[in-house]
Structure 1
Amino acid sequence: MIGQILQVMNDWIEHFGLLSEGWRAAILIFLTAMVTGVIAYIASHIIAMLERKFADTRNLWDDALLHAARRPLVAFIWLHGVYWAAEVANHFSDAEIFQGNGILLQIGFIWVIVWALLGMIKEVEKNLTSPIKMAKPMDYTTVNAISKLLRAAIIITAVLTVLQTLGFSISGVLAFGGVGGIAVGFAAKDLLANFFGGFIIHLDRPFKVGDWIRSPDRDIEGTVEHIGWRLTTIRTFDKRPLYVPNATFTTIAVENPSRMSNRRIYENIGIRYADVHSMRRIVDDVRAMLEQHDEIDTDQTLIVNFLKFNASTLDIMVYTFTKTTQWVKYHGIKEDVLLKISDIIESHGAEVAFPTHTVHLPDGVRVSSSEAVEEAPEQSLVPAADSKGRKVPVRPGRDTRAGDEGESAGEGE
């Protein structure tokens, strides 16, 4: 229909002989582009108006469809406009470049369809994982894996369709891919191992984006930021990115602390041996305090017992679980529990013990204060005077007889 309109306009301009053939072609191409732009502008505004209208409804999928289709529809209109402009140019010119207008239109149509489908998958992924739009949002890792598979399937199908449109035999391409796939498999076995490792992660879901994971087999610990088909990005606690090949997770043990139900408080608290008579009351009060604590989960194991006679302390074991799993809040609760235990110990006149040593001496070597005074002259370090009047130190511990002179005299002084 548009071709007939352009032909009528060209015949009308040519009938009056107003312009040359080149000018007629330029005018028709300009009119085609202008009409295409007007139609694309009107279509874009209509879809934008429908988006605003349907945004107030409870249905999420009409918004996703309109948002995914708006730009591909505008591109589809411009694609047809360019096609008809090329047809006008082909009518006035015998250049071979314009002979493939039909094939380019088909390829462009495939591209627009693929664009719209990829946009629709993206919108559906956003809706399914949004806690605002969905009452029970789906797991992001699972939805992301499915969307990646759908995107890959759409792109592969589009590429094969384009090859068929260009005249290539799809059966030959598939046969070449089967033979070449064996060589590629041997050359890129590590790449394929990472690909299937990523597939296993998406299938088994040992962790997802946002989880805190660590491995006892490797020095891997941090928060998962992205799970790709080859690498998994982990942000360590010192804020450095760690890129781990997916094949690694098929051979190591992975711990996921993010899925813990509670956090544990496990402490051994020692009191002095002198406070053994208060042990039973301290243990009972600590147990009662934990049972009444608002942040302690009493449905989990709760143990408060006199544990053992240690080298310098009487140890009390405190074993319980908090309700929260948040790291910062957990430490605040633990601090409160330990301070309350300290208050209970002090309330019974007891003290928290620290390592000490007691030295026991035989009775024969004990020296009373009176004997120390009597024997002090013999151990005196008072310096003696030499023949010139200079003072010299005297070494203690040397036996002397009564009436001896020399060092004994000096000690006497």
Structure 2
Amino acid sequence: MQEEIAQLAEEATQFIDKWAGNILFITAASLVAWLVWCVVYNRLYALTEKTKIRWDDLTLEALRTPITLLIWGWPGIISLGFLLEGYFNTKVDWLSTLKMILILGVCLWFMLRLVSNIEEYVIEQQKRDETTVQAISKIVRLFFTVIAAMTIMQSFGVSLSGLLTFSGVGGLIVGFAAKDLLSNFFGGMIVHLERPFKVGDWVRSPDRNIEGTVERIGWRMTIIRTFDKRPLYVPNSVFNNIVVENPSRMLNRRIYENVGIRYEDSQVLADIVSDIKEMLQNHDDIDTKQTLIVNFNAFGPSSLDMMVYTFTKTVNWIRYHEVKQDVLLQIMGIIEKHKASIAYPTQTIHMAPQHAGMEYSQSEDNSSSTSENKSEEQGQQ
């Protein structure tokens, strides 16, 4: 037993002495290569900072970490090959496949980082629609991921033609099993392509209790931040079956009010209507190119009603209310200028005095005649 242990220890010592030098050399070479890359990266970074073009900075930033992984990963695989071949005394063939997977992974990682950097840069410039930029970047990421996955499968000996044939049958099974997921995916595709709304838009649906600001449009769901700051997660398939209103794309905002004055002020009604219309036509925040109507509209139960119908130039919600307030205050001032008043619900009861007195006299005569008849009957008794 002791002889076997001693023999194993001797073999282990010979194995370590044989391969330790190679592994240490590879590790030292990797360290030197990494230090050289750090120096080169810093020099290139200083050069790209001086240029006015932003794309070289984005590419260099995307290269930094993948190259570091390649510098340490490739020698690591070689060292692993030395260890396994020395221990088993056979050549390990699958290490070459592992090296190719490493290269593909590094290239894929670089492309994904580059696409993300470009996406952030374009969004920061605010020259392109954010929703469109995000949609294109997602499609590009998906494209490179699929290409890398197919290449890796082919390196393992998987037949792509057989895989595509199987995907036709398997697609039906997956389609039935994940129909809701696919429905949300294609719903997201429709939202990205047709663009009924984009990130930052205020949207609402008359069909559903959905209203708020679009915060993110994903492939499965859209995040809408309601006005009380609650997140609302809406599956994309919902947008295929509901009506979506996008107030953010309004060209104007409407002021539509019915103003009533008293019946006693009917003589100045025409002048009030004329002055209000003139005020709106000269108002700086009213869009006179749109429909503008100020007319006596109806005989109300307790007022003479005027319709004021116009549009503001601004579509901003806060600014719109400021303009509307100013318009209403000026309408009040015009009514007061003509010594009229805004009507409020009232009821007037008219009684004919002659008719009321006649009824009183007849009732009084009837009561007096009745009393005389009673007194005569008592005298006869």
Is 1:146 aligned to residue 136 of structure 2?
Answer: yes
User: Structure 1: how far apart are the matches of 2:54 and 2:289?
Assistant: 41
User: Structure 2: how far apart are the matches of 1:261 and 1:224?
Assistant: 19
Stretch deviating more after TM superposition (205-214 or 118-127): 118-127
1:192 to 179, 182, 199: 182
User: Structure 1: how far apart are the matches of 2:35 and 2:330?
Assistant: 71
User: Structure 2: how far apart are the matches of 1:96 and 1:283?
Assistant: 102
User: Structure 2: how far apart are the matches of 1:275 and 1:21?
Assistant: 113
Letter in 1 for 2:335: I
Q: How many residues align?
A: 354
Is 1:40 aligned to residue 30 of structure 2?
Answer: no
Cα deviations by residue, 1:217-268 (Å, 9 ceiling, x for unpaired): 2222221122222212222222222222222212222111110011111111
User: Structure 2: how far apart are the matches of 1:347 and 1:280?
Assistant: 14
Contact 1:86/1:98, CA 8 A, preserved across alignment: no
2:203 to 197, 204, 213: 213
Is 1:167 aligned to residue 157 of structure 2?
Answer: yes
The answer for the alignment partner of 2:223 in structure 1 is 233
1:281 to 271, 282, 306: 271
The answer for the alignment partner of 1:327 in structure 2 is 317
User: Structure 2: how far apart are the matches of 1:88 and 1:184?
Assistant: 44
Q: By how many angstroms is 1:169 displaced? A: 2.2
Secondary structure at 1:130 match in 2 = helix
User: Structure 1: how far apart are the matches of 2:61 and 2:344?
Assistant: 69
Contact 1:129/1:143, CA 8 A, preserved across alignment: yes
Letter in 2 for 1:37: L
Contact 2:199/2:215, CA 8 A, preserved across alignment: yes
Is 1:313 aligned to residue 303 of structure 2?
Answer: yes
User: Structure 2: how far apart are the matches of 1:34 and 1:295?
Assistant: 74
Contact 1:68/1:120, CA 8 A, preserved across alignment: yes
Letter in 2 for 1:187: A
Cα deviations by residue, 1:14-46 (Å, 9 ceiling, x for unpaired): xxxxx9651463344234223313322331342
Secondary structure at 2:219 match in 1 = coil
The answer for the alignment partner of 2:3 in structure 1 is none
Secondary structure at 1:232 match in 2 = strand
Letter in 1 for 2:341: E
The answer for the alignment partner of 2:99 in structure 1 is 105
Secondary structure at 1:221 match in 2 = strand
The answer for the alignment partner of 2:124 in structure 1 is 130
The answer for the alignment partner of 1:203 in structure 2 is 193
User: Structure 1: how far apart are the matches of 2:150 and 2:72?
Assistant: 24
User: Structure 1: how far apart are the matches of 2:261 and 2:333?
Assistant: 13
2:256 to 261, 266, 277: 266
Gaps of 5+ in 1: 1-18, 368-396, 403-413
Contact 2:74/2:102, CA 8 A, preserved across alignment: no
Secondary structure at 1:25 match in 2 = helix
Q: By how many angstroms is 1:47 displaced? A: 2.2
User: Structure 1: how far apart are the matches of 2:230 and 2:368?
Assistant: 72
1:250 to 221, 240, 250: 240
Gaps of 5+ in 2: 1-12, 358-366, 373-381
The answer for the alignment partner of 2:115 in structure 1 is 121
Q: Classify 1:149/1:84 alpha carbon distance in 2 versus 1 (closer, same or farther; 3 Å).
A: same
For normalisation by structure 1, the TM-score amounts to 0.78
The answer for the alignment partner of 1:7 in structure 2 is none
Rg: which structure is higher? 1
The answer for the alignment partner of 2:59 in structure 1 is 65
Secondary structure at 1:109 match in 2 = helix
User: Structure 2: how far apart are the matches of 1:129 and 1:238?
Assistant: 27
User: Structure 2: how far apart are the matches of 1:146 and 1:270?
Assistant: 55
User: Which one has a larger percent helix, Structure 1 or Structure 2?
Assistant: 2
The answer for the alignment partner of 2:333 in structure 1 is 343
Cα deviations by residue, 1:194-229 (Å, 9 ceiling, x for unpaired): 221111111111111111111222222221122222
Cα deviations by residue, 1:285-342 (Å, 9 ceiling, x for unpaired): 2222222222112222222222222111111111111111111111111111111111
User: Structure 1: how far apart are the matches of 2:301 and 2:90?
Assistant: 99
Letter in 2 for 1:232: T
The answer for the alignment partner of 2:74 in structure 1 is 80
Q: Classify 1:291/1:86 alpha carbon distance in 2 versus 1 (closer, same or farther; 3 Å).
A: same
Q: By how many angstroms is 1:181 displaced? A: 1.0
